[in-house]
A and B are shown apart, each in its own frame.
Chain A
Amino acid sequence: MPATIPFKLITPTKVVFEGDADLVIAVTTEGEEGILAHHAPFLSALRPGVLRANIVENGAARRLELATSDGFMQALPDGVTVLVDDALAFEDVDVAATRAELSEATERHKSAADPMAAAREQAIIDFANAKLRLTGHH
């Protein structure tokens, strides 16, 4: 069995997951990044995307897949921590609402006045796309 690392996924309203994983893959601003045990310490910004992890619970492996908004991932010798605004599992995604969100954000993105506002709308678009990808509607 491969070595595991403590993995924590935290949003402002709750700790979504806390346990052991042998692999955590998140979408950083530089592309997908996979973290295994004994990874060098690092801190990176995350883009909205689908976060995947191989969870090990009571010796049994399980796959965790969540649509996450933008945030941050830090790997330290004592574990991996992911900090995001929102993390949704397959069953929590409302496809119709997400589609509406996506088209509204796309409209606002077109008329965004400054780069900061545009970047915000882009983040909403990316998160909506991640949610749709997770549910297989993309």
Chain B
Amino acid sequence: MPSVRDLRDRIRSLKNTQQITKAMKQVAAAKIRRAEMAQKQARPYADTLSDMLRDLMASAGSVDHPFMKAGRAGAPSGVILMTADKGLAGAFNSNVIRAGEIYRRDHADAVFYSVGVKARNAVRRFGQGDHPAWVLNAPSKITAAREVAHRVTDDFVSGKIGDITLISSKFVSMMSQRPETRRLVPVTAADMASKPAETGAPRGAVEFAPSAEAVLSRLLPKYLEFTIFSAMLETDAAFYAAQLLAMNNATDNAGKLIDELTIQMNNARQAAITKELLEIVGGAEALSGA
């Protein structure tokens, strides 16, 4: 049985741990509010962009744009693997990385691009030491998203990769985040038509300058940039939600352990006192009996 002193030391160190996890939980709670705010601020743009796309697709149908055509036959898949930069968020990053591994099982020659430090490390473990990598927590996420989009679309257009897939985290709720694998390019008309309609019915005849096809071919790259940008915002929010949950559990667990150890310590102390008393009483009896 551990001594009272050992137990006291363990309790003290657990209390320190609990303080740290509690602080991290509070930080995550504050950051998640900011991340959700950023997502909310991006929504008007997202809604307008998808409205415009819907109007365009309604009149243009399909256009002669490289993003709408299949890539070079036989070219490997391009995959953007997106995680957070930091850990301590439960299985958040490893779930996304596992989704990447599963994708890699079916597409052994897949070319990886990574966003987030954890994704970069995972891709290095995949054996692609030198690959295009970005951090999630860039000073300007929109600039980073644009760079990612440019790099992958350049590689797609030049035939280095045959399609573009994004694996990132979906913010289902505060309690649940799950990895999501999405095909970004080639873009199909169905992808964009499936966007939720905000204003409902089509808005009548629209004139396009110079033409629906020309506007659409400018909108497609923007759509891609914005999709990557909003995935980055979503990963950010999902990460803090996962971290909040992980730190909450860690704090609770530390609390439970502290309670258990405190009882053990009290028992041990009581046992020591009892033992001492017995020794004294035993000693006194031995003396008086003599």
Within the complex, the shortest CB–CB distance from A99 to chain B, in Å, comes to 19
User: Could you tell me the distance between the alpha carbons of A41 and B38 in the complex, rounded to whole angstroms?
Assistant: 31
Interfacial chain A residues near B41, Cβ < 8 Å: 13-15
Report, nearest first, the 6 A-B pairs whose CB atoms are least far apart. A44-B209, A42-B207, A45-B218, A41-B206, A12-B45, A45-B215
A81 at the interface (CB under 8 A from B): yes
Interfacial chain B residues near A11, Cβ < 8 Å: 45
Interfacial chain B residues near A81, Cβ < 8 Å: 48
Interface size on A, residues (CB 8 A): 29
Q: Considering the complex, which residues of chain A in the window 43-58 have a beta carbon less than 8 Å from any beta carbon of chain B?
A: 43-45
List 8 interface pairs A-B (beta carbons < 8 Å), by A numbering.
A12-B42, A12-B226, A14-B41, A40-B207, A43-B207, A44-B210, A71-B222, A76-B206
A107 at the interface (CB under 8 A from B): no
B272 at the interface (CB under 8 A from A): no
The answer to whether A76 and B52 touch across the interface, beta carbons within 8 angstroms, is no
User: Could you tell me the distance between the alpha carbons of A114 and B156 in the complex, rounded to whole angstroms?
Assistant: 13
Interface size on B, residues (CB 8 A): 34
Chain B's interface: helix, strand, loop or mixed, by majority? helix
B281 at the interface (CB under 8 A from A): no
B29 at the interface (CB under 8 A from A): no
User: Could you tell me the distance between the alpha carbons of A76 and B38 in the complex, rounded to whole angstroms?
Assistant: 28
The answer to whether A43 and B214 touch across the interface, beta carbons within 8 angstroms, is no
User: Could you tell me the distance between the alpha carbons of A107 and B226 in the complex, rounded to whole angstroms?
Assistant: 27
Q: Contacts A12-B45, A114-B154; is A74 near B210 (CB within 8 Å)?
A: no
User: Could you tell me the distance between the alpha carbons of A14 and B38 in the complex, rounded to whole angstroms?
Assistant: 9
The answer to whether B153 and A83 touch across the interface, beta carbons within 8 angstroms, is no
The answer to whether A116 and B52 touch across the interface, beta carbons within 8 angstroms, is no
